[in-house]
Amino acid sequence: MSPATQTAAQLLKQYGEDAEVIATLRAAEVAAQGDVEALARWDAVIACLTGEAPEGLPN
């Protein structure tokens, strides 16, 4: 399981249906700081949460 998938799974466990909102807020925070590497990681997490990542989340 990739780090993005692990993070997505943890967010889902902790925040449920709000997980995508939380990930988007965190992505916005790191984007505002200019941290493109962290933004790419959060974008991968968001892709997992929305089902757009090739790996997706485990069932």
> 19-29 pLDDT, tens per residue?
999 999 999 99
C-alpha of 1 from chain center: 14
pLDDT at residue 59, rounded to an integer: 46
pLDDT at residue 1, rounded to an integer: 84
In this prediction the pTM is 0.86
Quote the mean pLDDT of the chain. 92
CA distance 17 to 10: 12
Q: How does pLDDT run across 37-55, given as a tens digit for each residue?
A: 999 999 999 999 998 876 5
Q: How does pLDDT run across 28-38, given as a tens digit for each residue?
A: 999 999 999 99
